[in-house]
Amino acid sequence: MSILRVTHRTEYHYKQPVELGAHRLMCRPRDSHDLRILDTGITITPQPGQLRWMHDVFGNSIAIATFTEPAAELVFESTFRATHFPLPHRTLVIDDYANTLPLSYSASETLDLGPSKARHYPDPEHQLDAWVKSVLEATPGLATLDVLKTMVAAIKSEFAYKRREEVGVQTPVETLALGSGSCRDFAVFMMDAVRCLGLAAQFVSGYLYDEALIDAGGGLVGGGATHAWIQVYLPGVGWVEFDPTNALVGGRNLIRVAVAREAAQAAPLVGSFTGAADAFLAMNVKVEVQAE
C-alpha cells in the first residue's frame, strides 16, 4: 500500500485577453478496489463564474467551468491524494469457453458491451486486418490472453514512441504508415485491432507511475504528462488493462481517470475561446506523481 499525490497543471497563454468559452475537465480518478481517494482539489485562474460537476454516460466525473471575464492566461491545476493498493502479479483465469479465439460473449454480455465491440476507424485496404492476422500467425494455439500479450508486445517493438501535443489521435492506418505515434495513438490502434477479433475494448486516460521507484528515494514515481491505454473485456476476469506503449498487462502501474468508448470522449481538458486568429500562443502541461 502507498499514498500517491498527483498534481496536473495545464496552462494556456494568449497574445491578448480573449473571451473564454466553457471548459470540460476530467481530473478526478475512479475509485476502485485498488485505488481509494483521500482528497481532491482544483484551482482555476481566472476564477470561473461557475464550476459544476456531473457524471457522463460512462460514470466519469466531469467538471465544467464557465467564465465571465476575458483573460490572457488560463490555468487549471488539479490535485488528488489516493491510497493505492497495487494488485499482485497474478495469473488471469479466463472462463474455459473464452480461453481460445474466436470467442463469443454470452447474450447478456453482448447486449451490455454493445458499441465497445464495434471498430471505429475505416480500413478500406484491410491493412489493420492484415496486421492482426500476423499477430494470430505468431501465436500458436490462439490462446486469447497469449494473442493479446503478443499484440501489446508487437506494438511496442514495431512502432516508435513519439510524444505529440496536437489535439486528436492518428487513425490506426496512419500509425501503420508512419511507424510511430503517441500513447493515445497506440491505444486507439490496439483498441481497433482488438475489435477486429470481436473483443470489446475501451479507451482509458489517466496517469502512469513506477511502483518500483517508491522506495528508491526522492518520492517522484512518475509524471510528465497524462497517459492512455485500453481495457479489454475477458469473460471470467472482466476488464483487463493493456498498455501498448509500455507492453504492460494489468493495471498495477496505472491510475484510471476516465474510461470511454473512444479517445475523444476521455480527453483530460477540452475548451474554446473567442479572439483573434493568432491570439493563441502556447499550452503547457505538467504532471507529477509523488509518493508520500
Radius of gyration of the chain (CA): 20
pTM: 0.93
Q: Which CATH class is domain 96-210+222-266?
A: alpha beta
- Rounded to whole angstroms, what are the CA distances from 221 to 26, 261, 291? 22, 29, 7
One fold for 2-85+268-291 and 96-210+222-266? no
Confidence of residue 217 (pLDDT cuts 50, 70, 90): low
Q: Does domain 2-85+268-291 have CATH number 2.60.40.2250?
A: yes
**pLDDT, tens only, 39-81:** 999 999 999 999 999 999 999 999 999 999 999 999 999 999 9
Report the pLDDT value the prediction gives residue 220, as an integer from 0 to 100: 55
The residues pairing with 208 across neighbouring beta strands, listed in sequence order, are 254
**pLDDT, tens only, 4-36:** 999 999 999 999 999 999 999 999 998 888 899
Confidence of residue 210 (pLDDT cuts 50, 70, 90): confident
Residue identified by cell 496536473 is: 8
By the 10 Å C-beta count (0-12 exposed, 13-18 middle, 19+ buried), 131 is classed as buried
Q: Is 225:288 a contact under the CB 8 Å cutoff?
A: no
Domain spans, the chain: 2-85+268-291, 96-210+222-266
Report the pLDDT value the prediction gives residue 34, as an integer from 0 to 100: 86
Asked if pLDDT for residue 193 goes beyond 90, the answer is yes
Report the pLDDT value the prediction gives residue 209, as an integer from 0 to 100: 86
Residue identified by cell 470522449 is: 265
Report the pLDDT value the prediction gives residue 215, as an integer from 0 to 100: 63
Asked if pLDDT for residue 133 goes beyond 90, the answer is yes
Closest CA to 225 of 163, 272, 167, 166: 163
- Rounded CA-CA distance 32/254 in Å is 12
Closest CA to 276 of 80, 10, 59, 16: 16
Report the pLDDT value the prediction gives residue 201, as an integer from 0 to 100: 98
**Cα–chain center distance at 90:** 23
Q: Is 60:266 a contact under the CB 8 Å cutoff?
A: yes
